[in-house]
Amino acid sequence: MTESASLRVIVVDDEMPARLALVHALSTIPNVELVAQCANGFEAVKAVSETSPDAVLLDVHMPKLDGFDVLELIGRDVPVVFVTAHDEFAIRAFEVHAVDYLLKPVSPERLRTALDRVRARGRSAASPATQLRAAMSRPGDVLERIVIRDGPHVHIIPVDRVDYVEAQDDYVGFRTGGKTLLKEQTMAEVEAALDPRRFVRIHRSYLLNVERLARVELYAKDSRVAILTDGTKLPVSRSGYQRLQQLL
Amino acid sequence: MHPILGDQLRLRLHFTAWSLGGAGLAWLVRELFGLPWTAAIAFGVPMGLVAAPVSLSAWYLCRAMPLARTGALRIGATAAGAALVTGSLWSALGRWWWQLLAATAFDYMPLDQMVGLFSVMMGLGAIGYLLAVTVHYVLQAGEGSALADRRALEFQVAQRDAELRSLRAQVDPHFLFNSLNSIVGLMGSDQDQARVMCLRLAEFLRDSLTLGGESRITLAREVALAEQYLGVERVRFGERLSVCTRLDPDAADVAVPPLLLQPLVENAVRHGVATLLEGGEVRIEASLAGTKALIVVTNPYDGDVRRRGTGLGMDIVRRRLAATFGDEAAMAVEAQDARYRVALTIPLAPTGAHAA
C-alpha cells in the first residue's frame, strides 16, 4: 500500500461520545476513509467481514465481546490498534507484544502516528491475540468461553458445553451440541488456555472435557479408547492415558 | 527505670516488708536468747531497714542478666555469689551493731554467747537477697510485658490510622479519562452535551474533593454525590445507563464516611451496566430499619461472564465500614438472576470509640 492510497478504517467503541472523538480525530488525517462505526464487538466482526478494512480502531472494554475477543476473531485478517483509557496492565501487555495502542482521549497527532505504523507494517502489525490474552491474564486464570467466528456471525460457547477439541490441519474443531465449530488456532494454544483440571490432552489430536468421559477401554496392547457419555469413541495415547489417570 | 525506686507505692511496700523482716529478726533473738523486747527490737528492726536499700541493688543483677537471654546456671551462680557476699556483710554489720548496743545501751548482751546468731544471720541475709532477686525478676518481666502491650496498642492505633487514610475513598482515574474523552467526542457535534458534561464533572469533582476531607457526611449528601457521579456517566453511556435513587427522608441525616458508596456505584457501572449491550438501571435505595440504616445498590450484569476486578472496591467498602463502625455495620453481597445487589447496614449513631 502506498502513502497516497486511502486507508479504510473501522471505529469500534460501545460509547457514542468515544466514537465521535475518534471519528473527529480521523477526519483531520488525510488519506483516511471511515468505512464503519460499530457499537459492539458483534458489529465489529460483521463489519470486518463485510468491508475488509485496512485498520480497526478497537476499544478494549465492551459488553459481551471485549476488544480481545474481537482481536482474537479478526486479528489475523486486519491490523488492530487498541484504544483504551489509562490501564497500566494493558499498556504493559501492548508494549511487550508491540501492538500499537492509544490512550483516551486520543490526540489526532498520536492517531496519525498509529495509522502511519499500520501503513508501514501492513497486516503484520498485530501479534496473535492468544499471546496478548496470555500476557493480560492473571496467573491461574482459565478460559471460560470460546468465541468463534462464522463469517459475519460470532458464537460464544461456555467451555463446559464443549465435549472435546479436535485438531484439524491449521484449525481446531470444538465439538459442542452435536456439531463442530472450527477456529484458526493451534492445539497447544487451546490446551494452554483451558482449565487443566477439566480438559485433558488424551491424544496428540484430542483434548477431552473429562466430564464427558464415560469409560476408557483397552482394545489392543497399549492402545486405549475413550468412550464418551454420548457414545463417541476417541483414541487415547499412552501419555494421554497417564495424564488422564493423574487427573482422575 | 528501677521498678521499685521509680514507684512510690512499691518503695513504701518494700521498706514495710523489710521492717517486718527486721521485726521477725527481733522476735528470733528474743526467743533464742531471752532478751527483752526493747533490746531485741533495737537490734532487729534497724538491721531490717538497713537491708532494704541494699536489696534494691538486686535490680542491677537482673538488668545485667535478663531472664530471656541468660542461662539458668549463670543466673543461679551469680545470684548465689552475690547473696553470700551480701549475707556476710549484713551479718558482719549485725555483729558490729550488737557490740555497739551492748557497749552503750544494753549491758546484758554479751557477744561471746551470740556467735551462732551471726551464722544464722548470714544465711538469712543470703536468703533475703535471693528473694529480692526473685522479686526484681518478676517485676522486670511485668515491666517488659506492659511495655510490649503499650507498643502493640500504639502499633494498632497507627495501623488503623494508616488504613483509614489509605481507604479514604478516591475516584477511579479511568473515570476522569473516559469523561474527558467523552467531552472531546461531543465537542464537535453536540456542544450543549459537552458543556453539560463539563459542568457535571466539575461539580462532582469539587464536591468529592471537599467532602472527601470530612470524616462524616449525611447520607443525603452521600447519595447526592453518587447521583452526580452517575450523571456524568449517563452522558458517556447515553441511553444504556439509567439511574434511580430513593432516599427515605428519615434516613437523610444518617452520618456516613464520605464517598462510601463510590466504589459500589463505580462497580455497578463498570462491571454491571457497561457489560450489557442494552445497558440497564443502577438503583440506590436508602432507608431506616430499626436502629440501623439500610443502603442498597443494585444493578444488572452479564450473567454469562464471571465478575472480576470487583473485589478491591468491595474490600475497601468492607474495611471502611469496619474501621468506622466496628462490627455494628455489615455488608451483604448477592448476585442472582443477573442482578447484583450490595446491601450496607450501618448504625445510626457512630460509636465514640470508632470515631475517625
State the Cα–Cα distance between residues B172 and B259, nearest whole angstrom. 12
**Which of B185, B302, B305 is nearest residue A17 as measured by Cβ atoms?**
B185
| pLDDT confidence of residue B120 | 84
Other Cβ atoms closer than 10 A to B297: 24
Domain boundaries, chain B: 8-165, 170-354
| pLDDT confidence of residue A66 | 86
| Residue of B315, B308, B267, B275 lying closest to A141 (CA atoms) | B308
B137: buried, middle or exposed (CB in 10 Å: 19+, 13-18, 0-12)? buried
Q: What does the pLDDT look like over B230-244, one tens digit per residue? A: 999 999 999 999 999
pLDDT of residue B63 exceeding 90: no
Q: Show which of residues 150-179 on chain B sit within 8 Å of chain A, judged by CB atoms.
A: 173-174, 177-178
- Average pLDDT of chain A is 85
**Which of A19, A63, A156 is nearest residue B274 as measured by Cβ atoms?**
A63
* Cα-based torsion angle of the residue sequence B317, B322, B324, B329 in order, rounded to the nearest 10 degrees: 90
Residues of A in contact with B183 (CB under 8 A): 17, 105
Q: What is the DSSP letter of A106?
A: P
Q: What is the DSSP letter of A6?
A: P
Q: What does the pLDDT look like over B113-131, one tens digit per residue? A: 677 788 888 888 889 888 9
pLDDT of residue A87 exceeding 70: no
- Any CB–CB contact under 8 A between A105 and chain B? yes
ipTM of the complex: 0.79
Residues of B in contact with A66 (CB under 8 A): none
What is the CATH number that goes with domain A7-136? 3.40.50.2300
Closest chain B C-alpha to A39 CA, distance in angstroms: 9
Domain boundaries, chain A: 7-136, 145-247
Other Cβ atoms closer than 10 A to A220: 7
State the Cα–Cα distance between residues B283 and B262, nearest whole angstrom. 13
- Any CB–CB contact under 8 A between B109 and chain A? no
Whether the CB-CB separation of A237 and A223 falls below 8 Å is answered with no
| pLDDT confidence of residue A126 | 47
Q: Which of B170, B180, B184, B312 to mutate to test the interface with A (most CBs of A within 10 A)?
A: B184
Closest chain A C-alpha to B202 CA, distance in angstroms: 18
Q: Which of B170, B172, B181 to mutate to test the interface with A (most CBs of A within 10 A)?
A: B181
| pLDDT confidence of residue A4 | 58
Residue with the bigger pLDDT between A47 and A73: it is A47
Whether the CB-CB separation of B29 and B65 falls below 8 Å is answered with no
Q: What does the pLDDT look like over A62-86, one tens digit per residue? A: 999 988 888 888 866 688 888 888 6
Residues of A in contact with B272 (CB under 8 A): none
DSSP per-residue codes, A115-173: HHHHHHHGGGGSPPHHHHHHHHSPTT----EEEEEETTEEEEEEGGG--EEEEETTEEE
| pLDDT confidence of residue B355 | 42
Residues of B in contact with A156 (CB under 8 A): 304
Question: β-strands B292-300, B280-289: how paired?
Answer: antiparallel
Q: Is the pTM of this model over 0.80?
A: no
pLDDT of residue A15 exceeding 90: yes
Q: Which of A15, A61, A65 to mutate to test the interface with B (most CBs of B within 10 A)?
A: A15
Closest chain A C-alpha to B184 CA, distance in angstroms: 6
How many CB pairs lie under 8 A apart between chains A and B?
A: 77
| pLDDT confidence of residue B159 | 67
pLDDT of residue A108 exceeding 90: yes
Q: What is the mean pLDDT of residues A119-131?
A: 60
Closest residue in B to A26 (Cα) is B185
Q: What is the mean pLDDT of residues A227-234?
A: 93
| pLDDT confidence of residue B339 | 94
Which residue bears the cell 455495620? B329
- Any CB–CB contact under 8 A between A156 and chain B? yes
Least confident of B31-35, B133-137, B178-182: B31-35
Question: β-strands A7-12, A55-59: how paired?
Answer: parallel
Q: What does the pLDDT look like over B288-347, one tens digit per residue? A: 998 999 999 999 998 877 656 667 788 889 988 988 888 899 999 999 889 999 999 999
Say whether A85 and B174 touch across the interface (CB within 8 A): yes
Whether the CB-CB separation of A56 and A79 falls below 8 Å is answered with yes
Q: What percent of chain A has pLDDT over 70?
A: 83
Closest residue in B to A88 (Cα) is B174
- Any CB–CB contact under 8 A between A21 and chain B? yes
Closest residue in B to A63 (Cα) is B275
pLDDT band with cut points at 50, 70 and 90 for residue B353: very low
Q: What percent of chain A has pLDDT over 90?
A: 52
Closest residue in A to B181 (Cα) is A105
pLDDT band with cut points at 50, 70 and 90 for residue B37: confident
State the Cα–Cα distance between residues A162 and A179, nearest whole angstrom. 10
| pLDDT confidence of residue B73 | 87
pLDDT band with cut points at 50, 70 and 90 for residue A98: very low
B119: buried, middle or exposed (CB in 10 Å: 19+, 13-18, 0-12)? exposed
State the Cα–Cα distance between residues A204 and B354, nearest whole angstrom. 62
Residues of A in contact with B185 (CB under 8 A): 16-22, 24
Question: β-strands B339-347, A153-158: how paired?
Answer: unpaired
- Any CB–CB contact under 8 A between B269 and chain A? no
- Average pLDDT of chain B is 86
Least confident of A85-99, B27-41, B131-145, B274-288: A85-99
| pLDDT confidence of residue B311 | 74
Residues of B in contact with A63 (CB under 8 A): 274-277, 302
Number of residues that this document lists for chain B: 356
- Please, what CATH class does the domain formed by B170-354 belong to? alpha beta
Residues of B in contact with A15 (CB under 8 A): 178, 182, 236-238
- Any CB–CB contact under 8 A between A109 and chain B? no
Closest residue in A to B194 (Cα) is A17
SS (H, E, C) B43-91: HHHHHHHHHHHHHCCHHHHHHHCCHHHCCHHHHHHHHHHHHHHHHHHHH
A248: buried, middle or exposed (CB in 10 Å: 19+, 13-18, 0-12)? exposed
Closest chain B C-alpha to A173 CA, distance in angstroms: 22
The structural architecture, per CATH, of the domain A145-247 is Beta Barrel (2.40)
Residues of B in contact with A86 (CB under 8 A): 173-174, 177
| pLDDT confidence of residue A77 | 65
Residues of A in contact with B275 (CB under 8 A): 63-64
Whether the CB-CB separation of A226 and A213 falls below 8 Å is answered with yes
- Any CB–CB contact under 8 A between A107 and chain B? no
Q: What does the pLDDT look like over B244-267, one tens digit per residue? A: 999 999 999 999 999 999 999 999
Q: What is the mean pLDDT of residues B56-60?
A: 85
Closest chain B C-alpha to A203 CA, distance in angstroms: 30
| pLDDT confidence of residue A84 | 87
Q: What is the mean pLDDT of residues A100-107?
A: 88
Q: What does the pLDDT look like over A138-192, one tens digit per residue? A: 556 678 889 898 888 899 999 999 999 999 988 999 999 889 999 988 898 899 8
User: Which residue type occupies B45?
Assistant: V
- Any CB–CB contact under 8 A between A28 and chain B? no
Q: What percent of chain B has pLDDT over 90?
A: 36
Q: What does the pLDDT look like over B86-120, one tens digit per residue? A: 989 988 888 888 888 887 877 766 666 677 788 88
